[in-house]
Amino acid sequence: MSGMGRRFFLKIASATGAAAACSPSHAPEMLVPLLNPPENMVPGKPLFYRTVCRGCGAGCGVTARSREGRVVKLEGSPDDPIGGGALCARGQAELQSLYAPDRLRGPLVRHGTELVPVPWADALAQVGALLGKLRGADGFVHGLRMLSRCEPGSTGAVQKAFVSALTPAAKARVVFEPRDLVCLRAANTQLFGKAELPVLDLSRARAVVSFGADFLETWLSPVEQARTFMAARSGADRPRLTWVGPRLSMSGANADDWLRVRPGDELQVAIELLRWLVDPANRVAHLAPEAAAIRAALPPSRMPQGISPEQIAHLGGELSVRRPSALLGPAALASGGGGTALAAAVQLTNFVLGNLGKTVLLGLSSEEDAPSAEEEVRGLLEEARRGEVKALFLHRADPLGKLPASARAEEALRKVPLIVWFGERLDATARLAQFALADHHALESFGDLEPRKGILELQQPALSPLWDTRASSQVLLDLAATLALPGIVDKDFHELSKSRWQAAAKALGAELDSPHAQRNVQARGIVVGRALAAARPLRLEALPWFLGTRVSPGDGLQLVAFATTLASADPEAPGWLREVPDALTGVSWSSWAELSPITAQRLGVKAGNLLALRTEEGATELPAVINPALHEGAVAVPQEAPELRALGAMGRAVRVERTGKTFALPLTGHASQEGRDLARVVPRDEEPKHDHDHGHKHERGGTLVPPHEHPKHRWAMSIDLDKCTGCQACVVACYAENNLPVVGPQAARDGRLMAWLRIQRSFESISPAAPAETRIAVLPSLCQHCDAAPCEPVCPVYATYHTPEGLNAQVYNRCIGTRYCANNCPYDVRVFNWADPVFVEPLQMQLNPDVSVRSKGVMEKCTFCVQRIRYAEGVARGEGREVRDGEVTPACVQTCPAQALVFGDAKDPQARVVSQQQDGRAYRLLEEVNTLPAIAYLARRGGGEP
Amino acid sequence: MRRLAPLALFLGALGCQAAASPTTAEAPVKFSHKTHAGENQIGCGVCHPYARHSPNAGLAPASVCIGCHKFVSKEKPDVQKLAAEFTAGRPLTWTRLNRVPDHVFFSHERHLAIGVDCKACHGDVASMAMDQKVHELQMGFCMDCHREKQATIDCLACHK
Amino acid sequence: MSVPVAVAERMRSIDKSAEDTQQAPGLGWGALVALAVACIAIGAYSWSLIIRFGMQYTGLNRPVGWGVLITDFVFWVGIAHSGTLISAILFLFRARFRTAVYRAAEAMTVFGVMTAGLFPIIHLGRPWYAFWILPYPNQRHLQINFRSPLVWDAFAISTYFCVSAMFLLAGLMPDAAALRDGSQGLRRRFYALFAMGWRGTAEEWRHHGRAYLFFAAFATPLVISVHSVVSWDFAVSIVPGWHSTLFPPYFVAGAILSGVSMVITLLIPIRRAMKLEGLITMQHLDMLSRLVLLTSLIVTYSYSTEFLLALRGGASPERDTLLYRATGAFWPLFWLMVLGNCIGPLFLFLKRVRGSLLGLFAVCALVNVGMWLERFNIVVSSLEHNRIPFDWGAYHPRLAEIGITVGSFGWFFFWFLLFLKLLPSVSIAELKEEAAHDHHQEAAHAA
Amino acid sequence: MPREPGVLAVFADPSAAARAVRAAHAAGQRDVRAAMPAPFPEMMEAMAQPRSLIGAVTLCGAVLGMCLGLWLTIGTSVALPISVGGKPIVSLPAFLVIVFEVTVLVGGLSNFLGMLIGAYIGRRKRFMPADPRFLRDRIGVFLPGTSESARELLRAAGAEEVRDVA
């Protein structure tokens, strides 16, 4: 990447930025050839780089598609066993954080109250000098601390070396992961003596019980879990999913049963379930020998409110026969004794049922850089408050912004004389720092990562840095050099990380002798070795410790903090995640508080009313949203909501009052499908068997004119509603691939979101009598590419028509914007450009050069990613062969973690999509209007019987 | 229908299909295709390296020019200017002569692959001392050829 | 020699009253024109906003792609329907009450179409490409889609405009000639323009008579076709609440209803302001009001059929949509429409109401409101509740749309006011013919 | 227009004028010309003119329009065959709407032009002295060729005034 300087990108950016698709620019264009052409970069052709996603801890492998030196799209790396080629919504959105307009463009230093730009040399010199001053005679900086996010790789290693070289104090470096599953770690420590998280293999699970763990969307390693679980689900013996908790998350929406309990009662359910299982009277076979001991330690029985012994027995019976199973929990933000106890109960049940080592694997989570316990973080702040912390290094850690207000982080941090902060975008904490040192984005930096045992991921830059940033580890190495720190020899972080990953790779049995072999590893970006789950003995002495803890939830409303797939509520999240509405509630661009219909009625609250929430920790105001899938004892707030900090952790008692004010909530999507049976469910027993006519039934539906020919291909798709989790990864992928503009909250309120593909959620069988019966159906809705498309004949200028390959084409530059097509589309999938799109510099660098940027006044819609079809066809033509099945994948299909979407050529009898469309569950949307769509939906199956 | 070409052109212009672009380009240095492609028989691919395997033809990087002009006709003032700019690390800026609107996805690769001659669209550059635009690269121009050669006239072939 | 003079007397008095309408305009007229121009300015500014910043200045959204602008379009096309109907069909039926009123009605038609024709352009996302909807040879080898009802519209509306305009001009020729010879200077040249060299010779009358007959013969099916085509904009689609074979007759009746009511609402003040009571008599108005009553009954029938068809036979999107139309967000508008189009006209059964200018005016004004609302309800409520409940949405007009609507009224009345002052708003020649006829009747009686 | 000599009579009453015309015809004067503010039925009757040929013109126009419409719709659809909504390239039912409109349009135009041209030729070919009154309240009857009998005849019919036109 020698020839490519920052200017080079900006140049190309400005060229692309000028892309006003539908009206050619009249000014004569200038051509600026490169001085030296960068090798292997061909303008107009994509380059692919392998690296790793740092969006969350899961560490999915990523393929970054780059055009003219700018990354335009992220996709999962097929070689990666974790992501398995898929990527979640947040992974997709990493791209927008790379091009975030408010990213730091260079280092800043405090000047009075301001943070002002400063050259790197000066910044380093000043930090060095200040550290020098703080250094005692022993060469140590007593009271130097470091707070960093989890860095299981070279970065972490450098930080540790740096800190330990500067201070003798143990635990001087604290790993700050506010979203970490602390309870699960704590429970594992108690029961099995190791602070670790399990790795799940749900493909073998025949029953899954989740105690509020949003495992298909946000919990632990969601992409992997969605894939494995849905793989199992599509099998003959469909595993049952039971959801235990006060609120259906999107994972809960996929459950077959819902044990609807008061917040906090999950623990009680877990204990009663455990009791039932270990009770000899129920004769559960093949239990762990410790069962008797556990039974002895169990507290006296107390049925949780609203749960009958029969339900427990039913669930217990199911688990006793459906082996192996997997019990998951608790939710991410469940903290305190209750959470840990629940986690322990869950793990204990897994142990008793022998799930450990089969579906719930211990001993695989990376031992490197495990997140510190909550106490350590609070301890650090306490030290600071006492003024014992002299210098604090922060690496992508924002205690001020992420910890509850009760932690009084600000007060503590203000006491610290020297704060050096590393990160990309100024956060709350950075605003208190003396030095804010701009770090590379993950896609700009080298590094290595061991997300779990047996897997080594290489972090490799997919483009050269956009701004004047530096890798934080490099900065630390430079500082070490200036301070002549003992024991730190490396000068260059790239070299260091290289030697480290090569060593690690060798350990994993990778073959690295020749440069060629090395290049192969780098090209794959990942090394997978063998790692076996460890069998862990149960520490019986731990039983009384947690079975003793009793939590009795109060009777009033309780706070439930839940994780959302997207981040509508997070003001720091990239535009895509804020704009795409939360699948369950339909809210975008705002945080909110959910009430059950019953509670809302009791308080006389309507959606959009501003509520005053008060806990013993503090108070805040949030707009109300009515959620039929919520227990009346709960008030649910998304964990990304900044307002949550004031209220404190989960399980707090909340007082809710109306403020009388209303808030214009950007809320989209009607709650019910009004009995129109769009998202269908087939009860398991009635499930029709494979019949090969069914797929074509609709084509026999009478048409006046003979169906037209598709000479070569007829592109088609199938969507399995039994697999779709509603995670919206496809939606964000579509935004990224097709240059969809982010239009903001007002447009959302006006109903003018630009999404081509939407997850249509509907609450079913809502009755105040039986709220536990509430079910959620999701229906991915995109252009159906009909054979007899109603939108086509009404266009006066042929701007939309049926291509020979069966696509419903939209020619933007021919469209004059009558909007008749949109009116006449029975599926409402056509999107109109109400205004010219705005891509704030440098976001326009993300635009896909293969897709027109649409101007105001034209209609647009899903194209089945025709540009990707053309690309695949081009590749095939180049190799002188036909396009293979599965070679063409629209962005949505490519990124679907659950692999619910299948795309292919309906004229190829071997194609997967054909067999899918002929499945017994296949049906077309709105068959009565006889539009002969190219998309077949596979009805969701009712739960299997135990 | 085509007999009404003047009217068509007028309305075409109204429809702003004709981007008002220059018909001859003033170059930063006096570059002559006549000398290079004509007299010295340098193939197009030498200076337009990507044409055969990419949608974009690409334009000679200064390094390529220098590659020859290190030795060839160093005395010419324009060559010296070029060398100066190159050593100063300043790229030359050329005026674009042939362009299609941003909503047109033309691929040099595809057209060269089926043996379309560069002349067909760019005219006989080998005989041009001063570059000039030979064809208004408008949709009609493409359509004529596509119809003639029975190539696809599916809109999505060029518009995405 | 008393008898012949009397005939001449009558003719002269007709000329006289016609010329009186052409006297220098008063202050009131000037004020009205100024008001109209102001409205046009408002409309123009509103449109400029939409052109510059896109449709975001309207209240439209997903799923409601059409709103007030299309409502206005259909409304004005409807207004444009009375003229040719009164003129052509009544001419074929030899209905004598037509004579006094048809000129004003025809003018209304022409200006109505001129107004309606603007809206399909205004509501485009990219109005500067509106001409793409016309078939013209272009270097891009592109054609237009003759299957699209919008293309049918373009053809129907422009045809209707041309034919109505020619019909109006044909009728104007003799009258303009008559006024031409009575005036001097600029005015004379202006009339000469419309007279097209008319001299009143038997030769000319010979051709004129035939031509006029054929115009009537053409215009009659045209009137029916134009609003049928407009109705197909909706009926050809598959939107619940639009997709109905009932629409063409339903819309034509509605158009005539709105058109005739508009004629009455305009004639009542005009005959007062221009002292035409002698020519446009109560009997004329009475006839027109019967027409209103008739068409209103047809419209009422259509409404009920529409609902009955949707309501019988179980749950269906159509049913939901129509129920929503009657009970949903816009229920007051729906019932106001029923009041205006169905209940109000029933009062015309009473001779007292038909006889009183005030009553007549009130009923017809209410019909005008009702007919606008009818189109609004059809366009908006159907789109708000389309087939996918997830997308059920709401539409609220924004200032720009209202501004453009106001502008359209300004535009219409601007031309109409000019017409009143510059051209005879009654058919002089035909009135003379009648005068002679009446006179001989009376003479016969006398004898 | 070529002035012709003749006798011009001015009538105030259509029936009187009609009487004059009939009398002239009876007297073997086939070529009678008249001008009047409105087409008074008895007058037009008395004139007994041949029926206008406009009908034929208009019919031709209409037929031409129909062909034009068919050519336009079918021709363009075949020239750029684009498949929309699974409908055939030549979807006649839809095209008929256009065909009808174009038929009426061209028919109407030819009708209008036919009338103008007819009237123009009428004025050109058959001289009739101009007089503003003939457009307002008087009927003029003109007999080409001056003869005493003609004057007599007109006076007898009840003309207000009779004068020779040289």
DSSP assignment of C230-248 equals HHHHHHTS--TTT--TTHH
Name the phi and psi angles at A144, rounded to 5: -90, 130
- Alpha-carbon gap, residue A177 to A561, rounded angstroms: 17
What domains are there in chain A, each with its CATH number? 47-83 (no CATH), 108-179+368-507 (3.40.50.740), 199-361 (3.40.228.10), 558-662 (2.40.40.20), 713-941 (3.30.70.20)
Token pair of C110 as six digits: 């022409």
Cα–Cα distance list, A856 to A281, A815, A866, C125 (Å): 71, 11, 22, 7
User: For residue C105, what pLDDT band results from cuts at 50, 70 and 90?
Assistant: confident
In the three-class reduction of DSSP (H, G, I as helix; E, B as strand; rest coil), residue A183 is classed as helix
The one-letter amino acid at A813:
N
**H helix or E strand, kind and range, residue A453:** none
User: For residue A831, what pLDDT band results from cuts at 50, 70 and 90?
Assistant: very high
| CB-CB neighbors (< 8 A) of C150 in chain A | 794, 796, 818, 820
Would you list the domain boundaries of chain C?
1-22+424-447, 59-397
Say what the pLDDT of residue C93 is: 82
ipTM over 0.90: yes
- Alpha-carbon gap, residue D105 to D111, rounded angstroms: 10
Distance (Å) from the alpha carbon of A90 to chain D's nearest alpha carbon: 38
D51 touches chain C (CB under 8 A): yes
Contact C334, C325 (CB under 8 A): yes
Bond into B49 cis (ω within 30): no
pLDDT at A694 over 60: no
Helices C98-116 and C149-182 cross at an angle (nearest 10°) of 130
Beta-bridge partners for A74 = A64
Helices (H) and strands (E) in chain C, counts: 19, 0
Say what the pLDDT of residue A542 is: 85
- Alpha-carbon gap, residue A933 to A716, rounded angstroms: 9
pLDDT at A942 over 90: no
In 3D space, the residue among A248, A303, A234 whose CA is nearest the CA of residue A275 turns out to be A303
Helices (H) and strands (E) in chain B, counts: 8, 1
In the three-class reduction of DSSP (H, G, I as helix; E, B as strand; rest coil), residue A439 is classed as coil
The one-letter amino acid at A556:
G
In 3D space, the residue among C438, C257, C225, C217 whose CA is nearest the CA of residue C364 turns out to be C257
How many CB atoms sit inside 10 A of residue D42's CB? 17
Considering only CB atoms, which residues of chain D are within 8 Å of chain A? 80, 82-88, 94
Instruction: Tell me the pairing of strands A455-459 and A526-528.
Output: antiparallel
In the three-class reduction of DSSP (H, G, I as helix; E, B as strand; rest coil), residue A200 is classed as strand
Contact A57, A177 (CB under 8 A): yes
In 3D space, the residue among A316, A230, A253 whose CA is nearest the CA of residue A280 turns out to be A316
Tell me which of A3-7, A515-519, A578-582, A705-709 is least confident: A3-7
- Alpha-carbon gap, residue C23 to A548, rounded angstroms: 105
Binary contact (D79, C170; C-beta < 8 A)? no
pTM recorded for the entire structure:
0.93
Burial (0-12, 13-18, 19+ Cβ within 10 Å), A690 = exposed
User: For residue B129, what pLDDT band results from cuts at 50, 70 and 90?
Assistant: confident
pLDDT at A191 over 60: yes
Token pair of A262 as six digits: 């008061």
In this complex, the residue of C129, C131, C138 whose CB is nearest that of residue B8 is C138
3-state helix, strand, coil in chain A (%, to 5): 30, 20, 50
In the three-class reduction of DSSP (H, G, I as helix; E, B as strand; rest coil), residue A663 is classed as coil
- Alpha-carbon gap, residue C234 to C379, rounded angstroms: 8
User: For residue A548, what pLDDT band results from cuts at 50, 70 and 90?
Assistant: low
- What would the pLDDT profile of C113-162 be if each residue is shown by its tens digit? 999 999 999 999 999 999 999 999 999 999 999 999 999 999 999 999 99
Contact A447, A154 (CB under 8 A): yes
In this complex, the residue of A788, A795, A798 whose CB is nearest that of residue D86 is A788
C141 touches chain B (CB under 8 A): yes
Write down the residue that tokens 């009478």 correspond to: A702
DSSP label of A514: S
The one-letter amino acid at A797:
V
Binary contact (A802, D87; C-beta < 8 A)? no
Say what the pLDDT of residue B22 is: 60
Distance (Å) from the alpha carbon of B35 to chain C's nearest alpha carbon: 35
Instruction: Tell me the pairing of strands A240-245 and A207-210.
Output: parallel
In this complex, the residue of A705, A795, A798 whose CB is nearest that of residue D86 is A705
Binary contact (D84, C145; C-beta < 8 A)? yes
Say what the pLDDT of residue B26 is: 67
User: For residue A697, what pLDDT band results from cuts at 50, 70 and 90?
Assistant: very low
Angle at A263 between CA A241 and CA A182, to 5 degrees: 80
- Alpha-carbon gap, residue C156 to C113, rounded angstroms: 11
In 3D space, the residue among A774, A750, A773 whose CA is nearest the CA of residue A762 turns out to be A774
Beta-bridge partners for A109 = A116, A435
Give the nearest chain A residue to D88 (CA atoms).
Answer: A705
Give A287's contacts (C-beta < 8 A, 6+ positions apart). Answer: A277, A278, A352, A353, A354
- Alpha-carbon gap, residue A74 to A95, rounded angstroms: 7
pLDDT at A193 over 50: yes
- Alpha-carbon gap, residue C165 to C147, rounded angstroms: 27
Binary contact (D136, C182; C-beta < 8 A)? yes
In this complex, the residue of C56, C61, C239 whose CB is nearest that of residue A823 is C239
Bond into A324 cis (ω within 30): yes
- What would the pLDDT profile of C345-362 be if each residue is shown by its tens digit? 999 999 999 999 999 999
Across A627-643, average pLDDT:
93
Q: Which chains are within 8 Å of C by 3+ CB pairs?
A: A, B, D
- What would the pLDDT profile of B45-78 be if each residue is shown by its tens digit? 999 989 998 999 988 888 888 989 999 888 999 9
pLDDT at A10 over 50: no
Task: Please provide the average confidence, as pLDDT, over all residues in chain A.
Answer: 90
Beta-bridge partners for A778 = A761
Distance (Å) from the alpha carbon of A800 to chain C's nearest alpha carbon: 10
CATH topology of domain C59-397: Formate dehydrogenase/DMSO reductase fold (1.20.1630)
Across C44-49, average pLDDT:
97
Helices (H) and strands (E) in chain A, counts: 28, 38
**H helix or E strand, kind and range, residue B16:** none
Task: Please provide the average confidence, as pLDDT, over all residues in chain C.
Answer: 91
- Alpha-carbon gap, residue A197 to A177, rounded angstroms: 14
Say what the pLDDT of residue D124 is: 86
Contact A731, A757 (CB under 8 A): yes
pLDDT at A17 over 60: no
Name the phi and psi angles at C207, rounded to 5: -70, -40
Report CA torsion sign: A51, A55, A60, A66: negative
Across A350-363, average pLDDT:
95
| CB-CB neighbors (< 8 A) of A756 in chain B | none
Binary contact (C150, A818; C-beta < 8 A)? yes
Token pair of A229 as six digits: 């679980």
**Given phi > 0 = left and psi -120 to 50 = alpha, else beta, which region is C327?**
alpha
- Alpha-carbon gap, residue A189 to C219, rounded angstroms: 92
Considering only CB atoms, which residues of chain B are within 8 Å of chain C? 1-2, 4-5, 7-9, 11-12, 14-15, 17, 138-140, 143, 147
For chain C, give the number of residues.
447
Beta-bridge partners for A240 = A207
In 3D space, the residue among A838, A829, A839 whose CA is nearest the CA of residue A859 turns out to be A829
- Cα dihedral angle (D92, D98, D103, D104), rounded to 10 degrees? 140
Token pair of D65 as six digits: 């329009």
Per-residue pLDDT tens listing for chain D (166 residues): 578 889 999 998 888 999 999 999 998 888 899 999 999 988 999 988 888 899 999 999 999 999 999 999 999 999 999 999 989 999 999 999 999 999 999 999 999 999 999 999 988 888 888 888 899 889 999 998 877 888 888 888 888 889 888 7
Radius of gyration of chain B (CA): 18
pLDDT at A263 over 60: yes
Beta-bridge partners for A158 = none
In the three-class reduction of DSSP (H, G, I as helix; E, B as strand; rest coil), residue A73 is classed as strand
**What is B119-145 written as a DSSP string?**
HHHH--GGG-SS-B--S---HHHHHHH
Cα–Cα distance list, A463 to A61, A105, A686, A810, B5 (Å): 17, 16, 54, 33, 49
In the three-class reduction of DSSP (H, G, I as helix; E, B as strand; rest coil), residue D123 is classed as helix
Distance (Å) from the alpha carbon of B16 to chain A's nearest alpha carbon: 7
Contact C91, C98 (CB under 8 A): yes
Contact A921, A684 (CB under 8 A): no
| CB-CB neighbors (< 8 A) of C144 in chain B | none
C140 touches chain B (CB under 8 A): yes
